[in-house]
Amino acid sequence: MKMERDVRIGTSGWTYPHWEEIFYPANQPKSRWLEYYTEHFHTVELNAVEILSPSTSYKDQTEKLLLYEKHGVKEYWIVNPDAKYVMIYRLEGVKYSKPEYLTENDILESRALEGLKIDLSEVWGGEHIKR
């Protein structure tokens, strides 16, 4: 059975300084970059999710946090599966706000991905989670 699928191409961000005069027209205000980007691409990464592990925990909470903030990723979720919490950093202007901490008793509601709600009790409370 043959199935047709839409293929959408985008990038992990749109605020890359080295794209100026290569992709973005010279002298275009950075405040208009997203608008210009969406005229050419149908998708863009608005959030990033990292699952903490002992080997990546420090980098995820320091280097990647700063990198995602710098490049305008609207939400950054850091998931700690062992402690069963999610930290959500939300971009306010050009800086992330203090993180919101959610536990297995909370509903995660994304502001970047409209309508997305995740009941964390279903994520961590179920038998389907393998460790």
The bridge status of strand 47-51 relative to strand 43-44 is unpaired
CA 130 to CA 16: how far, in whole Å?
38
* CATH number of the 46-131 domain: 3.90.1570.10
CA 101 to CA 32: how far, in whole Å?
32
Give the H/E segment covering residue 96: strand 95-96
pTM of the model: 0.65
Within 10 angstroms of residue 89's Cβ, the number of other Cβ atoms is 22
- Predicted local confidence at residue 129, as pLDDT: 42
Domain ranges (residues) in the chain = 1-44, 46-131
What are the tens digits of pLDDT across the range 29-84? 988 888 888 888 777 666 788 889 999 899 999 988 998 888 788 899 999 999 99
What are the tens digits of pLDDT across the range 70-104? 878 889 999 999 999 999 999 998 899 999 999 99
